[in-house]
Amino acid sequence: MSAREEGGLHAPAHASHSSGGHGHPAEHSPIFVGEKRTKLDEILSRYPSKMAALLPALWIAQDEQGWVSEGAMAEIAGLLDLTPAYVKGVVTFYTMYHQHPVGRHFIQVCTTSPCGVCGAEDVAKAFLKHTGCGELGVTSPDGKYTVIEVECLGACGFATPIMINDDFIESVTPERVPEILGTLK
């Protein structure tokens, strides 16, 4: 089970707002025009209700912006006949949706108890140290990394599992962290 499928329950504790701000709806440029609108219409045609298209619609917005701004949430709410509060509730539930700009490499470390007893906290600390992020949810000064802790990634027998964007890596130890970061552009 991946975070993309199920999400975790930990929203980032802190946010770096080095770019983009909160994306107030008044400053929002519509996302669902042209090709993106066509794609959304195609997704809507597969479901019996508009609400069912919420997760893929949010994913399209995040692909476009790199995160899901308040403006994007309002736009999607309007298109799917939902309230902005409902859309925000979904965005804040899943760690796969970013509520602020994040680093190019978004690193999720499982620190739930089974991984926790195997040293997951030390893995998270190693990422914070070697990326320069310093704190969970804060983007590194070079804009490359954001590290967060998440709930069970479904690989409890392979502590510590992490996700870097869409890539899943098992059995990560603090010692492996520099090598893993070295593979990232």
Binding residue for ligand FES, selected from 153, 163, 172, 180, defined by CB under 6 A: 153
Least Cβ distance, residue 155 to ligand FES (angstroms): 5
Using CB under 6 A, which of 43, 51, 156, 169 touches ligand FES? 156
Q: What CA–CA distance (Å, rounded) separates 165 from 106?
A: 5
Query: Which strand (E) or helix (H) includes residue 146?
Result: strand 145-150
> Which phi and psi angles does 10 have, rounded to 5°?
-90, 115
Q: Compute the least distance from the CB of residue 157 to ligand FES, in Å.
A: 8
Closest CA to 98 of 123, 78, 69: 69
Q: What is the DSSP letter of 101?
A: -
CB of 105 to ligand FES, least distance (A): 20
Q: Where are the alpha helices (DSSP H) in the chain?
A: 3-6, 34-44, 54-65, 70-79, 84-93, 113-116, 120-131, 177-182
Tokens in use for 176? Answer: 């492996």
Q: Which is nearer to ligand FES, 73 or 152 (CB)?
A: 152
Site size toward ligand FES (CB under 6 A) is: 10
Of the two residues 62 and 112, which places its CB atom closer to ligand FES in the complex?
112
Candidates 2-10, 65-73, 81-89, 155-163; binding stretch for ligand FES (CB under 6 A):
155-163
Binding mask 101-140 for ligand FES (x = CB under 6 A): ---------x-x-xx-------------------------
**Phi-psi sector, 137: left (phi>0), alpha (psi -120 to 50), beta:** left
Residue 161 found at the interface with ligand FES (CB under 6 A):
yes
Q: Rg of the chain over CA atoms, in angstroms?
A: 17
Smallest gap from Cβ 175 to ligand FES, in A, equals 19
Binding stretches for ligand FES (CB under 6 A): 110, 112, 114-115, 152-156, 161
